Amino acid sequence: MRKENHYLRIYFVLLLLITARSVAFSQCSFQEFSNEQDIDKKSEMCIYLTNEYLRGDLDSLKIISVELLISAAEAKSAFGKAIGYKCLASYQIRTGEIETGLEHFLDAKEYFERKQDPQLLSEIYNEIGNAHYLLGEYNDAIKAYLKSLEYGKTSPDKTDAFNGKNGLGKSYCALGDTAVGVYTMAEYKNESIKASKFEAAADAYAYLGQIEMERGNILLAKEYYGKSVLFSRRSDSKVHLSHALNNQAILQFNLGDMDSSLYYFEESLRLREQLSNYKGIVESYYNLGFFYAATSDFHNGYINYNRSAEIAHDNNFIGDELDALNELIAICEELGYKEEQENYEARALVLSKHIEKKNTADKDIVAYAEGIIESVAVEDKQIESEEEESNSFIWILLGGVALILLAVVLKRRK
């Protein structure tokens, strides 16, 4: 690779680091990844970090994906390129670039089909199913999830044998086949419990609770939401428990039990404050703002939405700050706070423009990495072509030797 490309690489990696403050919480692991020179080890580390960052640090996921793609281009590594596209696609389908993410998953899939890697194929097909699900293409999603389960049967990771049932159940429900969907989700829940995947079980119970709420089965919905809290506690994940308590608060709100709803919202907030989970804290204050506004207590609604916006601002959660500001604008209009309303509107406009610029910058960064990959694709093809020519020559040579040996044998028989 030319020297100027090397300097460009350094520039873009630095730019990526600047755009994501949240990488600091896992700085050690990220630093090891960034310093790793062996492309195969770097790719394996990227897989591990992707599983970590998918839980709520998508900016860091973007960083490691682009970093790996650039490194793979420099090393001319097809494996690194495939992993890079897989990880980048996971980021893209969660940030609105679903069609582009789907294309990258298909690129990665082609490589691992040639290598016949059941574990990565199971994971990729599961994510392809997720992409189709988000696009509302439920039949295509079902096909992908079934393929994920098929590969999962021979995957060394035993959870791959049932992970696809989560999306599969949701897809059947989305198509209106609730009976099959609920049955599939119940299977996923049972297998998660058997494998001690309590977080997955908690999520499944929460979804089943949501379905039963929509069907009007209130008692069953309450039972499922309660089980979701129970398995969240068993998972020893306080983050997960805070989500389950938040779901319980929403359930009680929908049931009209406002005292219980407020209790669970506040319990979720307290847990998130203990964990210093600022993203969760922002969400909790936002939910409390919603609770008070929905019960016509606009003063407390204003206080909680404002707190949500302040913490989001302090932690550079731009999208969350904008969401809270939009609610504050509506409450200010209700309360007649004209000056505050104008201030919030001005700030919201600044944030909207910033988000637009950031989205453009993100696309430029990804496009740069893809351009680097594309620039070495011809070289890769040339190498493959040379290998094919070399292999052809070897087969011709072996064929010639075989014919000579055959002629010798026949001559001796005569």
Instruction: Identify which has the larger pLDDT, 237 or 180.
Output: 180
pLDDT beyond 50 at 26: no
The DSSP letter of residue 156 is: S
> In the structure encoding, which two tokens stand for residue 161, read together?
């044998």
In angstroms, the CA 142 to CA 158 distance is: 21
Query: What value does the CA radius of gyration of the chain take, rounded to a whole number of Å?
Result: 27
Q: What number is the average pLDDT over the span 5-30?
A: 44
Is residue 190 within 8 Å of residue 160, measured between CB atoms? no
In angstroms, the CA 48 to CA 31 distance is: 14
The DSSP letter of residue 21 is: G
Vertex 111, ends 155 and 386: CA angle to 5°?
135
> What proportion of the chain, given as a percentage, has pLDDT over 70?
79
What does the pLDDT look like over 320-348, one tens digit per residue? 899 999 999 999 999 999 999 999 999 99
Is residue 285 within 8 Å of residue 305, measured between CB atoms? yes
What does the pLDDT look like over 91-128, one tens digit per residue? 999 888 899 999 999 999 999 999 999 999 999 999 99
What does the pLDDT look like over 274-314, one tens digit per residue? 888 888 899 999 999 999 999 999 999 999 999 999 999 99
Note the Cα 174 to chain centre separation in Å. 21
Q: What number is the average pLDDT over the span 389-406?
A: 51
Contacts of 167 by beta carbon, 8 Å cutoff, 6+ apart = 126, 129, 130, 133, 141, 145
Q: Rounded to a whole number, what is the largest CA-CA distance in the chain?
A: 112
Say whether 191 sits in a helix, a strand or coil.
helix
